Amino acid sequence: MIVTSISDFRKDLKNYLNKVTQNLETLIINRGKDSGVVVISLEEYNSLQATQHELSSSKNEERLDAAIAKFQSGKSFEKKLP
């Protein structure tokens, strides 16, 4: 996680955004007392959205939990896709 002020962010915008996208860093830009902005890569955002969707219904959450339990107990299998 990288933390910076808004003025430092303005001075080195490209460098900060490169760190976020290339290293999957999370950037927090402080904007004053108890105020700020979080910058994440599009890849990280899409991952969070997919996770939120998967957990949005109790049925999906149950299926995911069952799959994790199956994997952890060693009862899963590997299948090669064409």
- Amino acid 9: pLDDT: 96
Sign of CA dihedral 54, 20, 14, 5: positive
- This prediction has a pTM of 0.67
Q: What angle do CA 35, 49, 20 make, to 5 degrees?
A: 55
Residue 41, classed as helix, strand or coil, is coil
Same-domain pairing of 57 and 34: no
Domain assignment of residue 79, yes or no: no
Cβ neighbourhood burial of 11 (10 Å; 0-12, 13-18, 19+): exposed
For residue 55, is pLDDT > 90?
A: no
Give me the number of domains the chain comprises: 2
Q: Looking at residue 29, which CATH number applies to its domain?
A: 3.40.1620
- The answer to whether 26 and 3 have CB atoms below 8 angstroms apart is no
pLDDT in tens, 29-40: 999 888 999 999
Residue 48 belongs to what domain range?
Answer: 43-72
